[in-house]
Amino acid sequence: MSIDFIEIGLAAVRVLGLGLLFGAGLPALFALGMKLHAVGAGTGEDGAAVRRNPFATAGAYALYAIVVGAVIVGVLFVTRHTLQHYFGLTLFGV
């Protein structure tokens, strides 16, 4: 019985790294988008009205788009072999 603990450790670090990038990073971007969205719409704390800011709104939508885009690309990447097998779609060079 041979157990490669170094390999297990490396796999754990890879899972942690990717998990932080997508699992914590994307929610943070989404939250930042929400913050900009609120600023852009002119709602301050407790819903008090402040001046509207169209740039902030544009920034918010850009962040939302990045989050949604990353999720779509991620799912396509994970399922790339199946998509290739059943639909003949070749993505990411596979």
Partner 1 sequence: MSGELLILILVIVTAIAFDFTNGFHDTGNAMATSIATGALKPKAAVTISAVLNLVGAFLSVEVAATITKDVLRIQTDSGDLVAGLNPQTAMMIIFAGLVGGILWNLLTWLLGLPSSSSHALFGGLIGAGLAGIGFSGVNWGGIISKIIVPAFLSPVIACAIAAIGTWCVYRLTRRVASKRRETGFRWGQIGTASLVSLAHGTGDAQKTMGVIALALIAHGSLTTAGIEENGLPVWIIFVCGLAIALGTYLGGWRIIRTLGKGLVEIDSPQGMAAEASSAAIILTSSSMGMALSTTHVATGSILGSGVGRPGAAVRWGVAGRMASAWLITIPAAGSVGALCFFLEHLIGGLPGALVVFGLLVAAATYMYVHSRRQKVDASNVNADWDEGASGQRSDSAAAAK
Establish if 38 lies at the interface with partner 1 (CB under 8 A). yes
Q: Please identify which residue in 3, 6, 88, 93 interacts with partner 1, judged by CB under 8 A.
A: 3
Rounded to an integer, what is the distance from CA 89 to the centroid of its chain? 23
User: How far is the CA of 76 from the CAs of 6, 53, 61, in angstroms?
Assistant: 30, 35, 22
- Interface mask toward partner 1 for 50-89; x: CB under 8 A: ---------------------x--xx--xx-xxx-xx---
**What is the phi/psi pair of residue 4, to 5°?**
-90, 90
| Integer Cα distance of 39 and 34 in angstroms | 9
Contact residues: partner 1, CB under 8 A: 1-5, 7-8, 11-12, 14-16, 18-24, 26-28, 30-32, 34-35, 37-38, 43-47, 71, 74-75, 78-79, 81-83, 85-86
